[in-house]
Amino acid sequence: MLFEALTLQLGYNATLVAIGATLLGVSAGITGTFLFLRKRALVSDAVSHATLPGVCLAFLLMASFGGDGRNLLGLLIGSAVSSAIGLWCLNWLTRNTRLAEDAAIGAVLSVFFGFGIVLLTVIQTLGMGRQAGLEGFLLGSTAGMLWSDAMVIAAGGGLTLILILLLRRPMTLVAFDPEYAAARGVPVHLTDMAIMGLVMAVTVVGLKIVGLILIVALLIIPAVTARFWTERSEHVVLLAGLAGGVAAYLGAAISASAPNLPTGPIIVLVSFALFLVSLLLAPGRGVLAAVLRHRRFQRRVHLRQGLLALAQGQPIYEKLTLRLLRRAGLVRADGVATDQGKARAAKALRDERRWEIVRGDQTHEAAAALYDGLRDIETVLTRDQIAEVDSMIGGPQGVAV
């Protein structure tokens, strides 16, 4: 069943949903990246909640003029207008009052959503029997999606992608370093507005599939996921688009494969699974990589301290140190150094003394700055320089390494 869903053989509606969701996932992932890099991820939460009154008002307006209140395009235009108003309120509050952005986000989110709910109950009490579709915008509802709905979503997703392609240079610049962007002559404020406009577009397009509460996840999670894998902005953008697309596609397929699996939540959960894998396994920034790095560092410190202790004839009690030394063949089981151990220990002690000289000498200032107690001196100084240092130390030379 799942295989059929993945290969788009589960019927007309499921295929429509899967394609629409994938397009949406890609554009949401990419747009969300700019938002995330700009450190304004939660603005999307305010934008998405602010769509509700617009949807309701558009419905009321269309119904009162005798049209079909559920025309998707009309509802989406209404939602875009009200989320734009919400965004304007948000910007006004942060710019003209002492409120921080997070408070403004919360205020806009709750008030617009509350007002939307008032309007929802108005629609219910007006006895408009066919309002059932509107609750679907809270959590998304893909069952019974029409061809025209799918076209609106696909066109919206495609349009968003084209806009992103056109605006990617200034948006990347602004997301990373607004001051530098301003100095280069990029209109920062306009670019910010463009990013927000794209967020709005993604939100509006996504209303039907994932609903206004969960669209935030599609904007935030792929970007955070992608950030684990790379330090380069172009790659983050591409990976976020990929993660968003994959999550949306898989989610839509899984939800089509069995009953009672709502599309929106499944997409979010798949997306979170990708995030979790990245958090744990990503090279560099992942948790596993950090643990391994820590262990490697720990081993180096213990080995180094163990060698110095051997060289100075001090007994070693630390179990980990002893184990590491034994495994490297530097001490015997009873804790006495082997020949190789003695040689390495003497070298370690000599290196320590070399570092001491280097750090005491103004002319080696640059090299001395690299001292961290673990670095091999050969990686910092040339052989001639080491020989020079050794001549300052004097004493026996030529210990076998």
Partner 1 sequence: MSGEEFVPLSLTPMLIGVFAAIACALPGNFLLLRRQALIGDAISHVVLPGIVVAFLLTGAIAAWPMMLGAAGAAIVAVVLIEAIRRLGRIEPGAAMGVVFTTMFAGGVLLLEQTDTSTVHLDVEHALYGNLESLIWLDATGWSSLLYVQALMHLPVELPRIFLTLIGVSIFIGLFWRALKISTFDEGFARTQGIPVNALGMALVITAAIAAVAAFDAVGSIIVIAMFICPPAAARMMSNRLEGQVAWSVFFATLSAVLGYVLAGYGPLWLGAYDAVSAAGMIATVSGLILAVAAKFGPCRSRTGAPQAA
Span of 16-24, 159-167, 176-184, 255-263 interacting with partner 1 by CB under 8 A: 255-263
Count the residues of the shown chain that bind partner 1, applying the rule CB under 8 A: 62
Distance CA 224, CA 220 (A): 6
Q: What does the angle CA 48 – CA 135 – CA 215 come to, to the nearest 5 degrees?
A: 30
Whole-number minimum distance, CB 260 to partner 1, in Å? Answer: 5
- The tokens for 291 are 């643990």
Q: Is 8 left (phi over 0), alpha (psi -120 to 50) or beta?
A: left
Please tell me whether residue 289 binds partner 1 under the rule CB under 8 A: no
Among 6, 13, 15, 42, binds partner 1 (CB under 8 A): 42
Closest to partner 1 by CB, 36 or 355: 36
Among 173, 268, 303, 325, binds partner 1 (CB under 8 A): 268
Among 223, 236, 247, 310, binds partner 1 (CB under 8 A): 223
Q: Tell me if 215 sits within 8 A of 44, measured CB to CB.
A: yes
Say which residue the tokens 């209109």 belong to. Answer: 187
Please tell me whether residue 143 binds partner 1 under the rule CB under 8 A: no
Among 122, 190, 292, 400, binds partner 1 (CB under 8 A): 122
Q: How many CB atoms lie within 10 A of CB 210?
A: 32
Q: 51 exposed, middle or buried (CB, 10 Å; 0-12, 13-18, 19+)?
A: buried
Closest to partner 1 by CB, 217 or 303: 217
Whole-number minimum distance, CB 286 to partner 1, in Å? Answer: 8
Span of 162-170, 187-195, 239-247, 283-291 interacting with partner 1 by CB under 8 A: 283-291
Among 24, 145, 173, 221, binds partner 1 (CB under 8 A): 221
Q: Tell me if 254 sits within 8 A of 18, measured CB to CB.
A: no
Annotate each residue in 76-105 with x if it binds partner 1 (CB under 8 A) or - if it does not, as one string.
----------------xx--xxxxx-xxxx
With CA atoms as reference, report the closest residue to 161 among 107, 198, 208, 130: 198
- For residue 157, the cross-strand partners are none
Closest to partner 1 by CB, 96 or 379: 96
Span of 185-193, 214-222, 327-335, 382-390 interacting with partner 1 by CB under 8 A: 214-222
Span of 16-24, 61-69, 200-208, 212-220 interacting with partner 1 by CB under 8 A: 212-220
Distance CA 1, CA 3 (A): 5
Please tell me whether residue 379 binds partner 1 under the rule CB under 8 A: no
Please tell me whether residue 392 binds partner 1 under the rule CB under 8 A: no
Among 264, 303, 309, 344, binds partner 1 (CB under 8 A): 264
Distance CA 338, CA 325 (A): 10
Please tell me whether residue 216 binds partner 1 under the rule CB under 8 A: yes
Please tell me whether residue 117 binds partner 1 under the rule CB under 8 A: yes
Among 19, 58, 60, 224, binds partner 1 (CB under 8 A): 224
Q: Which of residues 12-41 bind partner 1 (CB under 8 A)?
A: 36, 39-41
Question: Which CA distances in Å does 395 have to 35, 349, 383, 392, 399?
Answer: 63, 13, 18, 9, 11
Distance CA 8, CA 14 (A): 7
Please tell me whether residue 335 binds partner 1 under the rule CB under 8 A: no
Please tell me whether residue 109 binds partner 1 under the rule CB under 8 A: yes
The amino acid at 220: I
- The tokens for 224 are 């955070």
- Spell out the residues 6+ positions from residue 236 whose beta carbon is closer than 8 angstroms to its own: 33, 37, 223, 226, 227, 230
Please tell me whether residue 283 binds partner 1 under the rule CB under 8 A: no
Distance CA 51, CA 37 (A): 24
Whole-number minimum distance, CB 10 to partner 1, in Å? Answer: 19
Whole-number minimum distance, CB 180 to partner 1, in Å? Answer: 20
* DSSP secondary structure string for all residues of 136-172: HHHH---TT--HHHHHHHHHHHHHHHHHHHHHHHHHH
Say which residue the tokens 């009309």 belong to. Answer: 74
User: Which chain residues interact with partner 1 by CB under 8 A?
Assistant: 36, 39-42, 44-45, 92-93, 96-100, 102-107, 109-118, 120-122, 125-126, 135, 138-139, 213-214, 216-217, 220-221, 223-224, 227-228, 260-262, 264-266, 268-269, 272, 275, 279, 285, 287, 290
